[in-house]
Chains A and B, each alone.
Chain A
């Protein structure tokens, strides 16, 4: 497992192949777009997605928590895919054994009421301003602030010799912004088209690799 340490706005972030990142100065683990409950939501409506697949998200969450042992965990929105269902209980069990403080920045999919989260000691915020960092679900730009966000599930299309193309999910870094890849296992990706100032860190199974903009295929 190889992580990649980067510097944003004079702070250190360790990017993890799972799509999570660790803010060293704060001891904070940041995770976007887990979409818990998606499998169960589908099953509830008659679509027989293998139930076993839903445990994978929790295994992934646990693995990344074990790796960084963070003081706090911040979800950058779309923690749950839809209305409440039985996966909530799994999440509750997971939260209860967790040693860290948990914050959720509310996303467009987060329709579960705040009081439910209050009940399990998860703080829900619309946005979060820490030092001059702005944590949101939707990517935003505000003067002087560095934005950490999710929502778009970024990925890039790489182009190599021999007409080779690859689609990989990535951290998408713009001048004042770091957009996180989707963490959830049953989520798609949106192909972004970076400009020359942007930086792209792609996730493979066990590595995070910064790639040259020249490698990226544009439409």
Chain B
């Protein structure tokens, strides 16, 4: 048997044959792995992380198999989990290259949503030795009969891009699967790979769970690859005094053309898919010479098109790609020289990650251009530059006690071989997410999946998981099993329809909420094409090409992001500088001078010790705009909190809107700002209970419940080809939320909606801290005649919440009276 040194030499020699030199972090990872350790590797995309971990896995096999050159081993040896299936091909090629050249007859395979039925069946008979898969496909393996036989020879599981999973429910799902696999295969080594995030140590704990010995036998390896990032902002030549939002930045389109021409390949990152469509179309419209050199990439476009774009970037066949976060991750695009970010990226990590997509060669500087969509975003640009310089990165906050994911996981196990609660409970408790779960809560979940509630009731026909005489929890109904398999996963989106040409040819998928607003004959822009809606049938949108110029552009939900607390802090610091000497101002701040001047006409630019409130009246009603500069999520919460408290003073209805700078309360009745101040409505007393009540009155928790309802299987989202069969099972989570509110308010899943709103939407504690900060500030209330420049982006935002303390009938009557008066 070869010892560790000899094994590592094998790898070293292979590297030398490629004329490469292994990085220190790669060698450290080989050693740690071969010593039997678990760990987390902190390395960016394109740094050689694939070889850092695939190599020692293969070496471990060589060590265990003296005749490794001839013996063809059977069964799964290692699983590589990647959150993005687009990445799997690249990983597979790299792996195959190594095993082939080393002469180890190991098979490498991919299993994901794109794998054909036939190939899956073949894999079921003979699994590849090294499997590349997604968290969801891994769950599906757990939902198949005799899954334990698949996993019992596993050497390692590697979770790639762990930072993308650690802060969401896919991460919870992943750690539950790991807890099961570790029981089946006690020798299993668990590794993660993560880009830089604020809480790397915690990310390792979340991956490895709470078993002390297991964590003690682990390492955190950091690839110290320091990349130079240069941030340049596109400063508009003329600054509008009233910075409307929603410009999409297109007025600066001409300014980026020289940048595009100069660079070999440029990626243009937009924040939403509609923005992406718009930019793509406008560039082509104004600069038709880019035709053939420009492409678009976003999550709704068909996979074939996306893969084609990715290949074309690599092969240097494209000059410009307009994209969304769909290109944040993954494959190494060496030819990319320049990045343009349209609009605020909302977070430092995301910005750094995007910047890092350019200038991949070692020693090269990454260049990112920031293009503001409204002038005030220029403040963000200069704040971001500081963030990049100081390497400020955000934490990814883990989910705790996600009962919806647990419900799904337990039903998954019940669908395959069934489970015994006594065996599974300790495993679940060993995961980071469920370390505090109590027996009672676990029993609640068991009751939920077997009884559909907490006790057996008359006339009930609930059917999901059954308890067999020996105590095994099992799904025996084939239709329950089938529906569950269709719904495994924790990424919830709107019902989507596939878009196809009448003559055939899949273009992509589109949300039902958009398409339902169109009539046949309407023209819309999608995937960069003008399409005429022909008809909708069987979850398919049939379209024809159109030559019409004007069209509707789908707006996709989920494009809204909030500033992280780090980003908010930087932004405030930057803004306060607007009052400082010119010497301290960045060129962005200097460019904003006309706006600041107009702002100071009726109002002020607040300092660190001031909270600015502006009130004014417009045709729309009475506005109160408050500027804490804490990020969208905190503002949404604070807006509903203050609206709730104000609504206790008298019956009133508020429309609340918010952005990253502040929030607005709008009412059809005068807002008694003096009363709000006199009654100390910014107090931190009773914060939690007031907030809870205000959440009840607004839509926040209801929105959060949607995902929970889908993940836990309360709502069946259906499946295109099975649509007819499930028709009577369609319901909206909104309706359901109301039913729980009235009949089962102590339901753990219903309560989870509120908890998640607190912990994740509001990033618990941030509101508290923000309110505490406000309480140290002096409130400056400016009663203005007209909207100020700062208020413009907020009062023109379309995303709104409402809160009312009036009776519905009274509201309708008053609306009528007001209408008649006008």
Contact = CB atoms under 8 A, between A and B. Distances in A.
B812 A46 contact: no
A97 to B, nearest CB: 17
A202 B729 CA distance: 28
A109 B729 CA distance: 12
B186 to A, nearest CB: 34
A47 B484 CA distance: 11
A18 B571 CA distance: 52
Interface stretch (A117-125, A133-141, A163-171, A172-180): A163-171
A46 B483 contact: yes
A71 B403 CA distance: 50
A192 interface: no
A204 B812 contact: yes
B4 interface: no
A41 interface: yes
A160 B666 CA distance: 12
B609 interface: no
Contacts of B448: 48
B728 to A, nearest CB: 4
B812 A202 contact: yes
Interface in A141-187: 158, 160-166, 168, 185-187
B815 A163 contact: no
Given A160-B668, A163-B666, A43 B812 contact: no
A82 B667 CA distance: 44
Contacts of B483: 45-46
Contacts of B815: 158, 160-161, 164, 166, 215
A212 B816 contact: yes
B480 interface: yes
B461 A43 contact: yes
A166 B812 contact: yes
B813 interface: yes
A48 to B, nearest CB: 4
B731 interface: yes
A213 to B, nearest CB: 10
Nearest to B798: A163
A45 B479 contact: yes
Contacts of B802: 164-165
A50 B735 CA distance: 12
Given A41-B728, A163-B666, A164-B655, A49 B739 contact: yes
A5 to B, nearest CB: 17
Interface string B438-451: 00000000001000
Contacts of A43: 452, 460-463
B99 interface: no
Interface stretch (B136-144, B191-199, B600-608, B713-721): B713-721
Interface in B723-742: 728-729, 731-732, 734-736, 739-740, 742
Given A163-B655, A168-B808, A186-B731, A215 B453 contact: no
Most buried by A among B463, B517, B819: B819
Contacts of A166: 808, 811-812, 815
Contact of B714 (A49, A90, A188, A219): A49
A163 B800 contact: yes
B116 interface: no
Interface in A44-95: 44-53, 56, 81-82, 85-87, 89-90
A184 B461 CA distance: 20
Nearest to A41: B728
B819 to A, nearest CB: 6
Interface string A191-207: 00000000000101111
Nearest to B448: A48
A48 B461 contact: no
B462 A161 contact: no
Given A53-B739, A81-B728, A188-B735, A90 B459 contact: yes
B369 to A, nearest CB: 35
Nearest to A207: B809
Interface residues of B, number: 58
Contact of B808 (A85, A186, A204, A214): A204
Contact of B742 (A53, A81, A158, A160): A53
B459 A161 contact: no
Given A43-B462, A49-B714, A209-B812, A161 B729 contact: no
Nearest to B728: A82
Contacts of A129: none
Contacts of B461: 40, 43-44, 85-86
A211 interface: yes
B621 interface: yes
A86 B713 CA distance: 22
A43 to B, nearest CB: 4
B812 A161 contact: no
A51 B457 CA distance: 8
Contacts of B422: none
A219 B484 CA distance: 37
Nearest to B730: A188
Most buried by A among B448, B463, B740, B743: B743
Nearest to B743: A50
Nearest to A52: B743
A44 B716 CA distance: 13
Nearest to A159: B815
Contacts of A165: 802
A209 B740 CA distance: 28
Given A160-B815, A162-B667, A188-B735, A46 B460 contact: no
Nearest to B804: A164
Contact of B655 (A41, A56, A162, A215): A162
Contacts of B480: 45-46
Contact of B729 (A47, A89, A160, A209): A47
Nearest to A35: B728
B812 A211 contact: yes
A110 B667 CA distance: 45
A82 B730 CA distance: 12
Contact of A164 (B464, B653, B716): B653
Most buried by A among B715, B742, B812: B812
Contacts of A89: 459
A72 B739 CA distance: 30
Given A160-B668, A215-B816, A48 B459 contact: no
B728 A46 contact: no
Interface string B668-691: 110000000000000000000000
B668 A161 contact: yes
Contacts of A46: 452, 462-464, 477, 480, 483-484, 713
A45 B480 CA distance: 7
Contact of A163 (B453, B621, B742, B744): B621
A188 B668 contact: no
B620 interface: yes
A209 B808 CA distance: 11
5 shortest interchain CB distances as A-B pairs: A162-B621, A48-B452, A160-B815, A46-B464, A161-B668
21 contacts: A40-B459, A42-B731, A43-B452, A45-B479, A45-B483, A47-B716, A50-B740, A85-B461, A86-B460, A86-B461, A160-B668, A160-B818, A161-B815, A162-B666, A162-B669, A164-B653, A164-B655, A188-B731, A188-B732, A204-B807, A209-B813
Interface of A: 40-53, 56, 81-82, 85-87, 89-90, 109, 158, 160-166, 168, 185-188, 202, 204-207, 209, 211-212, 214-215, 219
Given A47-B713, A53-B742, A186-B731, 6 more contacts: A40-B460, A43-B463, A87-B459, A166-B811, A188-B735, A215-B819
